[in-house]
Chain A
Amino acid sequence: MEKRTLIIYTVITLIGFIFAVMSGYSQEDVTNVEDSAFEKKMRPAVPFLHDKHNETAGIDECNTCHHVYEDGKENEDDSSEEQECSECHTINKGDNSMALVKIYHLQCKGCHQKKKAGPIMCSECHPR
């Protein structure tokens, strides 16, 4: 095999591999629940399989979770999946980071408790 051919094959394989990886990411199935407002994390971020979760939970509408509230009322036609929670749920002066932790917990744990399904104890979500 000529040297050139080897290089071409190698490059093609690499590109193929990068595409494969990229395409995996582009589906954004596996991710962590992150928020840039958490400056210092107390616990590791919660791994979250978005599609699998919604499939299991039977959630179709984005705004079931990515809700939008206007003047204290939920706007059922709008959704906020492009935003981080902390953009609306701002931490007021005097609040500590517990305030933001609380809204995340209410969102996940609160629903899980309501539905009696899904994890509710600390270590069930936050890995070591």
Chain B
Amino acid sequence: MHDIYNFVSGPLVWVSFVIFFGGSLYRLISMAVLARKKDVFVYEYMSLKFGLRSILHWIIPFGTVKWRKNPLFTIVTFTFHVCIIFIPIFLSAHIILWKESWDISWWYISDTTVDILAVVVIASCIFFLVRRIVLPEVKYLTSVSDYVILAIVAAPFITGFWTYHQWAGFRVMGIIHIIAGEIMLASIPFTRLIHMIFFPFTRGYMGSEFGAIRHAKDW
């Protein structure tokens, strides 16, 4: 167990972080290079002001017509996205690991709160799953990879919750939890989870076109 633990919480963490940061950087740079080569006008039309204006509207809950039209989805998706970014960063059990290895630490959320938020994340994943299965317009677009991506994102939270509550086999689950987190991190640059990285650019570009050229709102 020691060897496995030390491996997944040591070298594998490095590997996943390197893949995540390196991969994301690679994707960003290769997108920028390709755009420079093939869609050069994107650089001409990209506008910081209007790009940010659009992004701002879209990252504020109920900030767009679309968000207002689907209140349930809006609440779920915003809570979900905020949670999956904040929980791993501000969980005390993660911070103490940073403290032990790097002697750095920061503000943390109480475990009780995280416990509730983890349930929220898992419930959101179930919501997305049900949506995929039940809503015809989503089902039509769905392929196997969509379920895989959902599982990749849900896994660290389910296993983390399991481990925290020390249910049967929690030691093994703890190891699986660490691996699941690493898989999620590493898969961001190479799956449609890349939307995390590309969102500011796709939205920003549409915001620029709409704002600077077409003098219209895109929300």
Residues in chain A within 8 A of chain B (CB atoms): 42-43, 96, 98-99, 101-102, 105-106, 109, 112-113, 116-117, 120-124, 127-128
- Are B100 and A42 in contact, CB atoms less than 8 angstroms apart? no
Q: B99 contacts the other chain (Cβ, under 8 Å)?
A: yes
Q: Is the interface of B mostly helix, strand, loop or mixed?
A: helix
- Are A123 and B163 in contact, CB atoms less than 8 angstroms apart? yes
CA distance A117 to B5 in the complex (A): 12
Among B148-156, B166-174, B195-203, the one that faces the other chain is: B166-174
User: Interface size on B (CB < 8 Å)?
Assistant: 24
- Name the B residues within 8 Å of A113 (CB-CB): 2, 6
- Are A101 and B99 in contact, CB atoms less than 8 angstroms apart? yes
- Are A123 and B164 in contact, CB atoms less than 8 angstroms apart? yes
CA distance A120 to B10 in the complex (A): 13
Q: Is the interface of A mostly helix, strand, loop or mixed?
A: helix
CA distance A121 to B93 in the complex (A): 10
- Are B96 and A98 in contact, CB atoms less than 8 angstroms apart? yes
- Are A120 and B96 in contact, CB atoms less than 8 angstroms apart? no
Residues in chain B within 8 A of chain A (CB atoms): 1-3, 5-6, 92-93, 95-96, 99-100, 103, 105, 107-108, 110-111, 163-166, 170-171, 174
Whether A127 touches B92, Cβ cut-off 8 Å, given contacts A98-B99, A120-B2, A122-B174, is no
Interchain CB contact (< 8 A) of A121 among B5, B95, B100, B107:
B5
CA distance A113 to B164 in the complex (A): 21
24 contacts between A and B (CB under 8 A): A42-B92, A42-B108, A42-B110, A42-B111, A98-B92, A98-B105, A99-B99, A99-B105, A101-B99, A102-B100, A105-B100, A106-B100, A113-B6, A116-B2, A116-B3, A120-B2, A120-B5, A121-B5, A121-B163, A121-B174, A122-B163, A123-B170, A123-B174, A128-B165
